Structure 1
Amino acid sequence: MPYKTKQELPDAVKDNLPSHAQDIFKEAFNSAWDEYKDKDDRRGNDSREEVAFKVAWAAVKEKYHKNADGKWVKS
């Protein structure tokens, strides 16, 4: 279920990540959704959606981190 807009992202993403981080999440999720559509391309028993979420969060964490107040900020 790729996301067409940031407004479609899960609340946990929309409510916590800055706008640019949401863009990163959306693009990484959609790319992983396409890349890992075949079960043979995934490790273990993770679903396509689980893999896409892991990839998306990893992409966000390359550019952002949580500060001492628990807010996501650019690294």
Structure 2
Amino acid sequence: MIIAGILFLMGILIGLSYNHFAILAASLAMTLVMLPLWLARGEFGFFSVLVWIGYLFALQSGFLVGGYLRPDEDS
């Protein structure tokens, strides 16, 4: 739960500062770190897939909130 909160805050920061390519890179980086870690520790299973989906949702929902809060550059 703490990791999901941190990912949500990171998503907000990415949404405030960068475009959609940055969130794709962050999602890919999180996947490339978490899945091999779970495989190496022997913890990969159905529950891990659900946790991974939850982490992706937290990161990307933070990005949407950050994008909504971003000041309009056209003004």
Fold in common (TM above 0.5): no
Higher helix share: 2
Higher strand share: 1
| Band the TM-score falls in, shorter-chain normalisation | 0.3 to 0.5
TM-score in terms of structure 2 length? 0.41
TM-score in terms of structure 1 length? 0.41
Greater relative contact order (Cα < 8 A, sep 6+): 2
